[in-house]
Amino acid sequence: MGKREIERAEIVCGELKQTIPETRVELDYSNALELMVATVLSAQCTDVKVNEVTADLFAKYRRAEDYVGVDAGELEQDIRQTGFFRQKAKNIRATMEILIAEHGGEVPGDMEALVRLPGIGRKSANVILGNIFGVPGIVVDTHVGRVSQRLGLTKEKDPVKVEKALGALLPEAEWTAFGQRLVLHGRYVCKARKPLCDECSLIAHCPHFAREMS
C-alpha cells in the first residue's frame, strides 16, 4: 500500500458515489434469513434468476424450521432453477439446523459464526454483515477483483487478500458501500470481456485503460 494507491482509492470512491448513489445489494430480501438464503442460491447464478426463485420461496419458507421441516427433494425442486440445486439444498438445510441448534433460529451477526455455516464464505458473510447488521466489510467477488486490479488499487488476486488490501486504502465507514459500488461498476460498466470504457467516469484514473491505449 502506498500514497498513490490511497489517493486513487479516494478518487474512485468519490467518483462512484456520484455515478452509483444507491448501493443496495441486488438480491431481494426482507430480513436476515432471506438474505442468507439468497446469497447461497446466488453461487453460479444471476441475481435476476435468484430473485425470480425467491419470490415464491420466501412466501413458502419463513423460518429456519420451515426449511428443515420439508423433504429434501421438495426443497431441491423449489430452488432447482438456480443450478447446483442438490448441493445448495443440502447447505441450506444444514445451515438451518445449525441456526436452530446454536442461534435460536436467527442469523448470527459476526464473521466467525457466519463462515461456519455451510455455503457461507467471507463474501456472503460480508454481504449479510454489511446490509443487515451494519458491520463494515468489503464484498470481494469476481467483479471487485477485476475492477480493483484494473484501477491499480491492488495486484492481489486472492479474494481475502484483495479485501484486506482495499480495506487498508479507505476508512471502515466506506467499506460496505465502496465494495457494493465496485460490484455494480464491474457488472454494468467495467465488464470482463468488453469494458464500456467510453461510458466510464473513472477512465482518467484507470491504469488499465492507459495501458490499452499506449
Domain definitions of the chain by residue range: 3-23+138-213, 32-133
Listed range (107-111, 121-125, 208-212) with the worst mean pLDDT: 208-212
* SS3 assignment, position 214: coil
Mean pLDDT, residues 114-137 taken together: 96
Tell me what pLDDT residue 14 has.
96
Catalytic residue among 78, 123, 155, 194: 123
Q: Torsions phi, psi of 105, nearest 5?
A: 80, 5
Using CB atoms within 10 A of its CB, is residue 100 exposed (0-12), middle (13-18) or buried (19+)? middle
User: From the CB of residue 44, how many other CB atoms can be counted at a distance below 10 Å?
Assistant: 9
Sign of the CA dihedral with 199 first, then 131, 8, and 156 last: negative
On average, the pLDDT of the chain sits at 95
Catalytic residue among 141, 157, 164, 198: 141
Residue 166 CA, chain-centre distance (Å), reads: 15
Listed range (22-26, 38-42, 111-115) with the worst mean pLDDT: 22-26
Tell me what pLDDT residue 208 has.
82
Question: Which amino acid is residue 26, in one-letter code?
Answer: E
Residue 142 CA, chain-centre distance (Å), reads: 10
Cell numbers at residue 76, please? Answer: 431441491
- Residue range 32-133, CATH number: 1.10.340.30
Rounded to two decimals, the pTM is: 0.92
| Contact between 17 and 178 (Cβ < 8 Å) | no
Fold of 3-23+138-213: Endonuclease Iii, domain 2 (1.10.1670)
- To the query of whether residue 141 is one of the catalytic residues in this protein, the response is yes
- Nearest alpha-carbon partner for 166 in 3, 6, 4: 6
